[in-house]
Amino acid sequence: MISTASFDFVADLQRRETAMRCEPGKEYLVEARLLPLAREAGYEDVDAYVARLRVDAAARADAVDALTINETSWFRDLAPYQTFTDTMLPALLESRAHVRHLELWSAACSSGQEAYSLAMLLRENLPPGWTATIHATDVSRAMLTRVKAGRYSQVEMNRGMPATRLVRWFERAGSEWQVSEELRSMITTEQLNLAAPFPPMRRFDVVFLRNVLIYFDAQTKSDILRRVHHTVAPDGFLLLGTSEYALDAGPGWQREVSGKTWMHRPEGARPATPAAGAAGPAGVRGGAGSAPARPLATTVPATATASFSSTLGTVARAGTGATLPTSLTPQGA
């Protein structure tokens, strides 16, 4: 097991480079993340590798990359994507009719499932003649390489990918699945550390900043949200993670609820949903749309039923319309 001195060095390195906390009790995680790098570099254990980190900047960058948290899945938590299609997108189609283009930011994008989930929804719901760009950023260069490649294992595809979308938007690439060029052309990537000053950025119509603020301390959260505020269009939307909806976003924000999702918006933005007095997250009542949420394609059309093989992951078109297995419907992780 990694020594206390080595763990303290690595925890301090991660805090300095990413502002993320690595508290005592996570020694097993640091050991698991760094041991493959240690073995690849020819060291017998993590302590010997950490000694190298103290004098090798390139090795430190690799270690920080390995320590980043990359938990993600397709259409994670589902409700935010439902809100995107049912509430945010109609409002933006009205307000952006003069440009017929949307800009989205997938912050802390990990290996890209969030960005590509949004790309699918945009391709399926945007009217003809509209375009969209999704800017995917992450502190990890390794993750951004994966986003650009757009290739995913069978295990990754099983985490929330509906069979209908698997058939429509992916092709087999050996033992993996390749995202279509049509979707990949919508994605731009950039390395960005949320805890550091941002480079010059465009204004975004929608920012997904989900399930990452929980890893920062209160001051860093506040600083990130202040910087993000400058990137959101005056009538745009910010979505945080499910466990982050009650976070005090600080001055300059107003909150609006749609179904089970809190939308954070710059102060003064015109409400995107009518004040229906419906219950929002955690029982809070507020502006929720009157229309019930529609499921995100949980059945296969009769013309394209997909049967999924758990061993080879092959997709065959056959049969008549059927309800998808639970494991293939959009779901959170």
How far apart CA 222 and CA 258 sit, in angstroms, is 24
Q: Give the pLDDT score at 65.
A: 76
Question: How many domains does the chain contain in total?
Answer: 2
**One domain for residues 218 and 272:** yes
**One domain for residues 101 and 224:** yes
Q: pLDDT of 118-168, one tens digit each?
A: 999 999 999 999 999 999 999 888 899 999 999 999 999 999 999 999 999
**One domain for residues 126 and 178:** yes
Q: Give the pLDDT score at 316.
A: 35
Q: What percent of the chain has pLDDT over 70?
A: 79
**One domain for residues 129 and 25:** no
Q: Which domain holds residue 19?
A: 4-67
Q: Give the pLDDT score at 71.
A: 67
Of 90-94, 208-212, 267-271, highest mean pLDDT: 90-94
Residue of 37 and 286 predicted with greater confidence:
37
Instruction: Tell whether 15 is covered by a domain.
Output: yes
How far apart CA 333 and CA 316 sit, in angstroms, is 27
SS3 of residue 127 by DSSP: coil
Instruction: Tell whether 325 is covered by a domain.
Output: no
Instruction: Tell whether 294 is covered by a domain.
Output: no
Q: What is the CATH number of the domain that holds 112?
A: 3.40.50.150
Residue 6: band (very low, low, confident or very high) from pLDDT cuts 50, 70, 90:
confident
What are the Cα distances from residue 280, in Å, to 18, 83, 245, 284?
33, 12, 11, 5
Predicted TM-score (pTM) of the model is 0.74
**One domain for residues 258 and 186:** yes
Of 160, 70, 79, which is closest to residue 116 (Cα–Cα)? 160
Instruction: Tell whether 323 is covered by a domain.
Output: no
Residue 174 backbone class (left: φ over 0; alpha: ψ -120 to 50; beta: rest): left
Mean pLDDT on 286-296:
39
How far apart CA 296 and CA 152 sit, in angstroms, is 21
**One domain for residues 59 and 153:** no
Q: pLDDT of 87-119, one tens digit each?
A: 999 999 999 999 999 999 999 999 999 999 999
Of 165, 194, 94, 141, which is closest to residue 330 (Cα–Cα)? 165
Instruction: Tell whether 318 is covered by a domain.
Output: no
Q: Give the pLDDT score at 70.
A: 67
pLDDT at 314 over 80: no
**One domain for residues 189 and 268:** yes
**One domain for residues 90 and 234:** yes
